[in-house]
Chain A
Amino acid sequence: MTTPAVRATDVRKSYGKGDTAVTALAGVSLDVAAGKMTAVMGPSGSGKSTLMHCLAGLDSVDSGSISIGDTEVVGLGDKQLTALRRDRVGFVFQQYNLLPTLTAEENITLPLDIAGKKPDAAWFQQVVEAVSLGDRLHHRPAELSGGQQQRVACARALVTRPDVVFADEPTGNLDSKSGAEVLAFLQRSAREYGQTVVIVTHDPVAAGYADRVVFLADGLLVDTMEKPTAKKVLDRMKRFDSHV
């Protein structure tokens, strides 16, 4: 097996100090396989969002190590972290993914613009076609539907060919049809372009699109599931509920 796209080793993270300290991650070790779509699942408060933030270089950890490709993330300064996010990580957030002053096209190429790079025209075309936004490129976010906005965000995440795309509840604010389109696109980007994708979700249906699901509870990785389906994930999740 090839080297993992993202590797976390014994990552610990807690908020606050002393008695009021809350442990978010209590020693998580995880390998994210390159070219696959991985879903991180768990009930609220399980630490799945914190894990994603730490993996993506948005948040610091107390101990442990995280590497993206062959770069150790822990210990990097703000400047290197920012450059890392810009060049090697793609993001899709739950909402407010786009800048209102920029057109769809400008939003897509934003990370490249920031880096002062020219987009690869062929790749750009391919990504734009894949998210079916061809006729909407010159519209501003306010003129796009929620689903279209999320697809613009997906295209932006992919346009830099990052090591990994992190999607945090990407379908949380969408109706099921739009959500399915976004998830199908993320799945295809892994399968067709070999794009590593990590999606954080609490929706079994969303997790069903992934190649692998990891389950988090109380800041610990408690289970993994290869080749999941929505039903299998749902069953697994029900066991959490009965445990708690």
Chain B
Amino acid sequence: MLRATLRSLLARKLRLLLASFAILLGVSFVSGAFVLTDSLSNVFQQLFTSINKGTAVTVQSSSALEEEFGEEEREPIRQAVADRVARVDGVAEVLPQIGGQATLVLPNGKALVKRGPPVLVVGLKPESPQSSLTIKRGVMPRGPTQVALDTQTAAKQHIKVGAKVGVIGKGPRRTMTVVGLLGTKDGASRGGATILGVDQATAQRLLDKAGAYNELSLAADPGVTNAQLRDRVAKVLPKGIEAVTVEQTVAKESASLKEDLGFFNTFLLAFAGISLFVGAFLIFNTFSMLVAQRTRELALMRALGASRGQITRSVVVEAVVVGMVSSLAGFVLGIGLAVGLGGVLRAFGIELPEGDTVVRLRTFVVCLLVGVVITVLAAFIPARRASKVSPVQAMRESGPAEDRSLLRRTLIGSVILAVGAGCLIVGLGDTALSDGSLQLVGLGAALSFIGVTTLSPLFARPVAGLLGWPFARLGAPGRLGRGNAMRSPRRTSATAAALMIGLALVAMVSTLGQSVKESLRATVASTLGADYVLNSGFMPFSPAVAEAVKGTPGLAAVVPVRAGQAKIGEAGISYLQGIDPSGLQQVIKVTVLHGDLQALTRGGIAVSEKDAKKLGLKVGKQVPVTWARTGTHPLEVVAVYKDNNFVGGYLVSDKTFDQNVTNKDLVGVAIKAKSGTPPAQSRAALEKALSDYPNIDILDQAELIAEQDNEIDNLLNAVTGLLVLSVLIAILGIINTLALSVVERTRELGLLRAVGLQRRQVRWMILSESVVIAVYGAILGILIGLAFGWAMVSALRDEGITEFAVPVSRLLIVLAVGALGGVLAALLPARRAARMDVLQAIATT
């Protein structure tokens, strides 16, 4: 039996090839995701090792919040502490670390804009054995006007030794001369960060930390263990400063890296899952068609004494072989894809560090398992159907089985769809977006797709008839193509379903994106009173910017906005903003429901209506707030305001913020011009005031909206780019269906050619069928996408997405892409059909 199975597999290898290609692509995505994240993890682990080489213990300020806030959130360490630590027995060396985010102004006067890895100012002390950086070319920077640049950035931006660049730290721009190029001592990657090396005093000045450091790295004398050194050092440290061993630091860094990369991996795997889901449809389709075609062969086997179990098993074994072969190929392809995927993400502005490609055994096992299991699952229903072939069917003339009960299909499809919709609603209802609810949403979406696919044969015939109308109008070939698309609703639906999935998700994210855009627009229109907003992309920037603007003539109000995190009551870690309440109402219209915002100046906190309800807060009540630097203090609720996208959930005064948060960087400055000042005049004045800050954008309301739209579009494009693979797989599915149909209809094609259908007309006929199927899939996809999008927007209403908007132009593009997919899919089958030998085709029985 096994031999017969393998024989039949080989005989139909061409037909299975396309189907296995679908699994191959899906698995390659899985493999690529793992290889990419493993490789990234490897790069960062090397970076950690490199940075921490020779370090035994780190001395740093303690943080009241467990969450990782990054370097700058910790209070700096004063020189006196460093001096005291240096005297501890067993400390071989103290390397004070000073560094932080900054902006690099290129020689052309523009700020270097990056997403992903940061631009860092680093205070160099290369003579220290603990320092990981070294000068590769030129000399060490010394004094306030010299800087060394990492070799990679220098090469990418064509900056040579001797060039003048600007550096903006916490203060205004400083012009500096590039005197050297930096690299790591051990050649390890820097994780893509741009590094501006300066001497330590200059770094302190640039970062506004005169006489202080981020932390101290200590090397131990021989014979002193890291733990011993930590305990000895801890004894001399003042309150609020702690010592941790390098093992603790690395463990913490690795854990947070693992979490970040895990999230990234899950994100990529979600798209791989979508591709595999589409691939499963294709496998299901192909096996269904193959089983239908082989009815006689299977019946003959049954007549010769093969049991039902043996028939089922023979099909399942086929699936296992197909799954295995394609998974193996997919695994290998994925290693290449990992490199390409990084390229795709880079193309969308998400920069990833480069490093060695890491392929783990786990990746191999997962790929093989996923590929085989999905193939077998998808082939199971066709396999069961195959076993139901009765031996008499060997003698019968009739070909593929006729449609079975539509009632049963309707019932089953409706139930699946209802369960799917239920899962979606429940999953989306949980705004906390816990893992469980996300999985529920995924399951709901998958079930909805299966439900729609089950139901869609019910309307495939009329819809295909309607869609094929333009083709039918154009002549007989179009009419014949339309007829072919209508003749087997189940096949048409199953084929269209594969395309539906990818396009539905594109339509969904487009709808969500459009709704977010419209909501932002509405928010700007209703609550933003400011004429200008200053920002620096998504990077925080120096408070000196607000100071630079304050004296500008023609301005009525300049309101700097700080943002940070704190633990508020039972709400856990939340974002809160620090704004001077006196100017606030001029730039942001906040509707106060209870209390008085101006009371914020005396300390206290204002809470949005939604969060007040969530935490049960009222004006006059105290709420405990835990800050990273200063620990837990109760704050009085002084006002409750209507939910406001610009202000967010929690608001304190700038003074309260500064007292409790180390990082005083701004996320924005809102500016109101004096009424009557011509816009050109106020803008010119602002530009003049900000001439030293090329990293700052001056945006009026329209530009602010355009910028947000642009950000959303970028995100949409990246997600759409990741969904392209599933659409490609679906196109393979259409090719497969058409190819099988062409083979099945050989005799008809021969007849048509004999009675005078030209080759060109044959091609047009196949093309019409293909486009009808593809557009059917696209329309189903758009409808489902709109439904999903609407569900998500409804669920996110509380998060500030108040408008539901239909992205008409994007949906038209989706439709056009569907039609184009149909055209592409038709090319090969149409060619094959047109080239068919007429006499042989007629002779086929």
Q: Which residues of A contact B (CB under 8 A)?
A: 53, 58-59, 78-79, 82-83, 85-87, 91, 93, 96-102, 110-111, 113-116, 156
Contacts and interface: CB of A to CB of B under 8 A. Distances in A.
B754 to A, nearest CB: 5
B751 A114 contact: no
Most chain B beta carbons < 10 A, residue from A100, A113, A156: A113
A132 to B, nearest CB: 22
A86 B838 CA distance: 14
Determine the main DSSP class of B at the interface with A.
helix
Interface in B475-520: 475-477, 479-480, 483-484, 486-487
Nearest to B483: A101
A99 B756 contact: no
Contacts of B480: 99, 101-102
Contacts of B152: none
Q: Which 6 A-B pairs have the closest CB atoms?
A: A86-B756, A113-B476, A101-B483, A114-B476, A85-B756, A82-B758
B752 A99 contact: yes
B487 to A, nearest CB: 5
Contact of B761 (A85, A98, A114): A114
Interface in B591-618: none
Contacts of B748: 96, 99-100
27 contacts: A58-B839, A59-B839, A82-B757, A82-B759, A85-B754, A85-B756, A86-B756, A87-B756, A91-B755, A93-B754, A93-B842, A96-B751, A97-B751, A98-B751, A99-B480, A99-B748, A99-B752, A101-B483, A101-B487, A102-B480, A110-B752, A113-B476, A114-B477, A114-B756, A116-B475, A116-B476, A156-B755
A78 B483 contact: no
A22 to B, nearest CB: 15
Given A99-B480, A99-B748, A99-B751, A78 B475 contact: no
Interface residues of B, number: 25
Nearest to B476: A113
B763 interface: no
Contacts of B142: none
B753 to A, nearest CB: 7
A102 B759 CA distance: 20
Nearest to B762: A82
B747 interface: yes
Nearest to B834: A78
A93 B476 contact: no
A104 to B, nearest CB: 14
Contact of B747 (A87, A96, A101): A96
Given A87-B756, A113-B479, A93 B751 contact: yes
Given A101-B487, A113-B475, 4 more contacts: A96-B842, A113-B479, A114-B757, A114-B761
A98 B480 CA distance: 13
Interface in B86-110: none
A101 to B, nearest CB: 4
Interface of B: 475-477, 479-480, 483-484, 486-487, 747-748, 751-759, 761, 838-839, 842, 845
A102 B486 CA distance: 11
Nearest to B757: A114
Given A93-B842, A114-B761, A82 B753 contact: yes
Nearest to B747: A96
Nearest to B838: A58
Contact of B755 (A78, A100, A101, A111): A111
Contacts of A83: 756, 758
A91 B754 CA distance: 8
Given A83-B758, A114-B757, A156-B755, A100 B487 contact: yes
Contacts of B842: 58, 93, 96
A97 B842 CA distance: 9
Contacts of B477: 114
Given A78-B759, A113-B476, A114-B761, A102 B754 contact: no
Contacts of A58: 754, 838-839, 842
Contacts of B475: 113-114, 116
Most chain A beta carbons < 10 A, residue from B486, B751, B761, B845: B751
Contacts of B757: 82, 86, 114
A102 B751 CA distance: 13
Contacts of A99: 480, 483, 748, 751-752
B839 A53 contact: yes
Contacts of B486: 101
A98 B750 CA distance: 11
B483 A85 contact: no
Nearest to A168: B842
Contacts of B483: 99, 101-102
Contacts of B753: 82
Nearest to A157: B755
Contacts of A85: 754-756
A114 B747 CA distance: 18
A150 B839 CA distance: 19
Contact of A114 (B755, B759, B838, B845): B755
Most chain B beta carbons < 10 A, residue from A82, A87, A96: A82
Given A93-B842, A100-B487, A101-B483, A79 B758 contact: yes
A85 B761 CA distance: 15
A111 B756 CA distance: 6
A98 B479 CA distance: 15
Contacts of B756: 82-83, 85-87, 111, 114-115
Contacts of A53: 839
A78 B836 CA distance: 12
Nearest to B484: A101
A100 B484 CA distance: 10
Contacts of A93: 751, 754, 842
A131 B487 CA distance: 28
Contacts of A116: 475-476
Contacts of A110: 476, 752, 755
Nearest to A90: B755
Nearest to B485: A101
Nearest to B753: A82
Nearest to A84: B756
Nearest to B486: A101
A58 B843 CA distance: 12
Nearest to B748: A99
Nearest to B477: A114
A147 B737 CA distance: 33
A78 B759 CA distance: 8
A48 B486 CA distance: 39
Nearest to B754: A91
B591 to A, nearest CB: 65
A114 to B, nearest CB: 5
Nearest to B842: A93
A221 B103 CA distance: 96
B464 to A, nearest CB: 12
Contacts of B755: 85-86, 91, 110-111, 114, 156
A96 B744 CA distance: 13
Contacts of A79: 758-759
Contacts of A100: 487, 748
A100 B748 CA distance: 9
A58 B837 CA distance: 9
Nearest to A50: B839
Contacts of B479: 113
A137 to B, nearest CB: 17
Contacts of A86: 755-757
Nearest to A86: B756
A101 B487 CA distance: 7
A59 B839 CA distance: 7
A86 B759 CA distance: 13
Nearest to B750: A96
Nearest to A91: B754
